[in-house]
Amino acid sequence: MIKRFSVSLFFLFTLSCLLLTHVHAADVPAGKKLAKTPEAIEKGRVIYYKRCSFCHGLQGDGDGPVAYQLIPRPRDFTKGLYKFRSTGSGELPTDEDLFRVISRGLPGTAMQTFDSDKIKSGLTEEERWQVIYFIKTFSKDFDDPEFNPYKAVVNVSSEIKSSQAGIEKGKKIFQEMKCWECHGDGGRGNGPNSPRLKDKFRGDPILPFDLTKGWRYKGGNTTRDIYLRFNTGINGTPMPSFTDSLKDEERWDLANYVVSLQKREVNNNPVLSAKFVSGELPTDPDNTLWGSATSIDVLLAGQVIARPRWENPSVDLVTVKALYNAKEIVFLMEWGDRFKDTVHNPEKEYKVSDVYKGYVSWEDIPRDIGNFRDSIALQFPTAIPAGTKKPHFFRGESGNTVNLWVWKSDLEESGQPPVEEVNASSPGQPLKIQPPEGQQVKGKGVWKDGVWKVVIKRPLLTEDKNDIQFEKGKFIPLALNVWDGSNGEHNLLMSLSSWHYVILETTVPMSVYLYTFLGIAGLGLGEFWLVRRVRRSG
């Protein structure tokens, strides 16, 4: 139980980091750059072995003991190939480029921020310079004057501010330069070339970036950051430099268009308010009634609580809305998913061996279209908690069970009822499917342009003791499980959230307004009487 609790804290920390990844540390050091000396390199070596070698390896070749679990793989420093630089395509980074990456970290990867002003376990500026000087010893190119990166720094012109006309120009350039072939028409990373791209480090599959996720831009999400990427390219990936193919102004227009695609604000309100409607509830995710509903953004992280632990989740945010009427409640979930996966092959499911340590190597999972389905589950406790005690957010626990509504894309595709109502008492126990007469949940999913929209509806009240019962004005815990089939996710290999809450809005009775009016009127009359009495006595 203690181990599960400690891993749960790590999971919650991971969720909180998702909120912070768009907040960058300083681009430049506050103090003077540390001199490169043998003593500084030696101190950097000690720091590297203690803090960096677990991922990047003792030899700097990106093959540390945890590297097999990570997507993308840790950087191989011996190759001298760096993605995020201020230098031209194929060039080495400057010291300041390395300082920026180590300070900021790389959102969406295992590379954390090491700025000690941001996290307690970070490194001071002096320590960051020291480890940078040691990292450079892994590649002899840094000692070759011919490859001096400071001679290859790209020119950065004055920023062209965003305007609607500029964004429209950028959109046209996005089409003309065929950026959509990788990133997709809507920037979701689902272009026709996306399933077959590979990096140049190890030949690993590489997915084009989902440009809508403003919080996950590895090299920064501002217009200047993106413009710089268009100047430098991203070494080791299919992303080229556009300095020879686009004019400077066009690169700024394209950058402003990319910024316009981003979902920059994340509404991490823990409480979802379900709005009351008097008529029929919508079953179509594009019904106009959804426009009147409030929404929250539920953050998710990889399931790292029970084995097999999954460090490489695909879905990190789901937008949720809810409506209800006198008889039913309906939820709408929306999330980005590059590919529509509607096939499930049980023969390829991952089997946990007796000697397995707990974490799954990404090489062990068939991450490809056509192996596993896309799926999402709404989770509730089977009973509204009377106090602060709730079931564990990961599948509940013995004596404190949960109720899950599981939507499956393969069932949707085959024409079967796509939602199954199940119960769970712990992650170590198989899900218990409710009998046919207990299946009262209905749903519908629609995938379009790299986005799933799934509607799930159920009566507010049922006679089944294994079902959650929805009561007005009560805070009802709600959590999510999500699977991306093409990312190899199935069973416990998934994204999940901690508990949020849904509350059914209550209409305010007219008596409340009447009593309020009478109270104010009574107070006014009392004050008037008191003033008159004081004047008479005076």
- Could you give the residue ranges of the DSSP H alpha helices within 184-339? 223-232, 248-260
pLDDT for residue 472? 95
Residue 524 lies inside a defined structural domain of this protein: yes
At residue 174, what are phi and psi to the nearest 5 degrees?
-55, -40
Residue 5 lies inside a defined structural domain of this protein: no
pLDDT for residue 369? 84
| Number of structural domains in the chain | 4
Burial class (CB in 10 A: 0-12, 13-18, 19+), 120: exposed
Point out the domain boundary residue: 152, 176, 191: 152
Residues 426, 517 within the same domain: no
CATH of residue 199: 1.10.760.10
Residues 207, 121 within the same domain: no
Residue 7 lies inside a defined structural domain of this protein: no
Residue the block writes with tokens 């990570």 = 70
Residues 159, 186 within the same domain: yes
Residues 242, 276 within the same domain: no
Model confidence, pTM: 0.87
Whole-number Å distance between alpha carbons of 464 and 457: 16
Whole-number Å distance between alpha carbons of 420 and 438: 10
- The DSSP string of 369-422 is TTSS--EEEEEEESS--SSS----TTT-BTTB-EEEEEEEHHHHHHTS--EEEE
Point out the domain boundary residue: 216, 238, 263: 263
Residues 452, 514 within the same domain: no
Residues 245, 368 within the same domain: no
Residues 452, 310 within the same domain: yes
Range of the domain at 64: 23-152
Residue 44 lies inside a defined structural domain of this protein: yes
pLDDT for residue 368? 81
Residue 403 lies inside a defined structural domain of this protein: yes
Residue the block writes with tokens 């999972």 = 365
Residue 3 lies inside a defined structural domain of this protein: no
Residue 8 lies inside a defined structural domain of this protein: no
CATH of residue 370: 2.60.40.1190
Residues 300, 417 within the same domain: yes
Point out the domain boundary residue: 152, 174, 190: 152
pLDDT for residue 496? 97
Residues 129, 189 within the same domain: no
Residues 201, 143 within the same domain: no
CA dihedral over 63, 64, 65, 66, signed as positive or negative: negative
Residues 236, 293 within the same domain: no
514 by DSSP, 3-state: which?
helix
Residues 443, 462 within the same domain: yes
- pLDDT tens-place values along the chain, 538 residues long: 434 444 444 444 455 455 444 444 456 788 899 999 999 999 999 999 999 999 999 999 999 999 988 888 899 999 999 999 999 999 999 999 999 999 999 998 999 999 999 999 999 999 999 999 999 999 999 999 999 999 999 999 999 999 999 999 999 999 999 999 999 999 999 999 998 898 888 888 889 999 999 999 999 999 999 999 999 999 999 999 999 999 999 999 999 999 999 997 899 999 999 999 999 999 999 999 999 999 999 999 999 999 899 988 999 999 999 999 999 999 999 999 999 999 999 999 988 765 556 778 777 788 888 899 999 999 999 999 988 889 999 999 998 999 999 999 999 999 999 999 999 999 989 999 999 998 999 999 999 999 999 999 999 999 999 999 999 999 999 999 999 999 999 999 999 999 999 999 986 544 443 444 445 545 555 455 444 544 455 5
Whole-number Å distance between alpha carbons of 102 and 127: 11
Residue 257 lies inside a defined structural domain of this protein: yes
Residue 448, C-beta contacts closer than 8 angstroms, at least 6 positions apart = none
pLDDT for residue 113? 95
